Amino acid sequence: MRKEHRSKNEALVQFIALPMIFLTVTLLGGLRVSAEDRGFVFVVPPLITLVLAVLLVVLFVRGRLIEIERWLTSDQPPLTNLSHALTLLSLFFASSQAFNSVLPESGLLFWLFSFFFLWTLWNNLYSFFDATRLVRSLTVLFGTAFVLKHMIIATLYAPEGSWLKKLAGVLLEGLSLGTLSPQVFAPATGYISFFTLALYVGGLILLPSGPKRDPRLELQRIIAAYRGLPQNDRQLMSQVINDDQKLLSAAEPPSPGDLQDH
C-alpha cells in the first residue's frame, strides 16, 4: 500500500505539480506593477536570459540534477517521452523568466547584472557540483540578485524615499553618466519576484534527476546488455553471479527444520 501511494504521489509531482510550477514561474517572471497607475506591465525576456537559461540547463545536466537518459529514452511510450520533454521545456522557460525577474530592465545595471550571471554560470561549468550543492548555489545567486534589485536599488530610486536616499540615487546616476537609472516600479513588483523565485527554487527541489523506470524495462535492458557482451565476458559474468549466489546461500541462517534435524 505504501509503495502504491508513493508511486501515485511521484506521478502527481512529475506530471502535474512540476509543469504547473514552472509554467507559473514563466508567467510571473516578466510581470511588473507600474508605479504610476498600479497596472500590470509584462516585460519581454531579453535575449541574454535565453543564453543564461541554456547555460543553466547545461549546468543542471552536468551536476546530475537532470539525467537526460532517464527523462527521454526509447524504452518509454511516446506519450511519456512527450510529457517529459514538455516538463524539461517548461523548466527552460522558467529559468529564463527567473533571470528576467531579477534583471534590471535597462541601462548599465542591466549589463552589470547580466555579466554577473554570465560569469558565474560560465565558471560553474568547470567546477565540481552535485545536485544538492547546485540548488544551494542557485538559491544564493538568485537571492543576491533579488536583494540588490528589489531592496537596495529600488529603495534608492523610490519616489517616496527620504531626501538622503534620493540624493544617493542622484549621485549614483551622475557618476554613471545617466546610464545607471533603472525603470521604477511599484513595491508590489518585489513581492511578485520573491514569490516567483520561491516557486522556481521549490520546483528545482521537487525535480527528480530522472523518472523512475518500470522494473521490467530495467530487467529487459540488463538482459539485452548481457546478451550483447562477448562470449568470454558473458562467461565471466555468469561465474561472478554464481559466486555471489553461493556466498548468499552460505550467509543465510539455517531454517528451524534444519535445526530440528540436527
Give the domain ranges of the chain: 2-206, 229-261
Residue 39 predicted with pLDDT over 90: no
- Residue-level pLDDT at 163: 44
* pTM for the model: 0.73
Residue 174 predicted with pLDDT over 50: no
Residue 12 predicted with pLDDT over 80: yes
| C-alpha distance from residue 52 to each of 93, 112, 148 (Å) | 11, 14, 19
- Residue-level pLDDT at 216: 56
Distance CA 95, CA 115 (A): 17
- The Cα angle at residue 47 between residues 135 and 42, in degrees rounded to 5: 85
Span 225-237, pLDDT tens digits = 767 777 777 777 7
Span 43-83, pLDDT tens digits = 899 999 999 999 999 999 988 888 888 888 877 788 888 98
Q: Are 37 and 218 in contact (CB under 8 A)?
A: no
